[in-house]
């Protein structure tokens, strides 16, 4: 059993880490949206440009490199947020365990407040893959448009 003082610290920390988990996930979504909008803008600018047939090899290479750098930058930023999100989630689960959220009888007899599967559900979270797929697919489309313009 944890001491009263430790429990009070956990009670204060719990909402802070809960908010941190949500904030990191939201940040990953924002980064994906912003990165995707930038790539979509580059793609439309290329496709709608009356000058697209006049692009030289240097221009094509520069635009291609810029799109790859743009994608790489946002993927790296998302990876950073994902790492911090996982750390915060791991600590959050530990706080939930210490506060007894996974123990039977805390609120209702013979029932846990949180399902046991929540302890490890975050390990199988694949939203990061979705974010990377979106950015890399848009980058691929831009590179294909450059190749065929």
Out of 39-43, 68-72, 119-123, 126-130, which region has the weakest mean confidence (pLDDT)? 119-123
Q: Which two tokens stand for residue 70?
A: 């743009």
Tens digits of per-residue pLDDT, 55-109? 889 999 999 999 999 999 999 999 999 999 999 999 999 999 998 888 888 777 8
Q: Average per-residue pLDDT in the chain?
A: 92
Per-residue model confidence (pLDDT) at position 113: 84
115: pLDDT strictly greater than 90:
no
Following CA atoms 88, 93, 98, 104 in sequence, which dihedral angle do they give, to the nearest 10 degrees? 160
CA of 9: how far to CAs of 74, 87, 90, 141, in Å?
36, 19, 17, 50
């Amino acid at each position: 059993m944890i001491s009263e003082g430790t429990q009070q610290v956990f009670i204060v920390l719990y909402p802070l880490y809960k908010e941190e988990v949500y904030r990191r996930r939201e940040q990953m979504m924002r980064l994906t949206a912003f990165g995707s909008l930038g790539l979509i803008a580059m793609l439309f600018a290329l496709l709608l440009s009356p000058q697209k047939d006049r692009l030289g090899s240097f221009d094509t290479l520069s635009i291609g490199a810029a799109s790859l750098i743009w994608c790489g930058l946002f993927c790296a930023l998302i990876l950073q947020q994902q790492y911090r999100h996982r750390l915060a989630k791991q600590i959050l689960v530990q706080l939930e365990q210490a506060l007894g959220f996974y123990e039977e009888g805390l609120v209702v007899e013979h029932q846990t407040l949180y399902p046991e599967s929540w302890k490890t559900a975050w390990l199988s979270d694949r939203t990061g893959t979705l974010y990377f797929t979106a950015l890399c697919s848009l980058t691929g489309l831009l590179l294909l448009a450059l190749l065929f313009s």
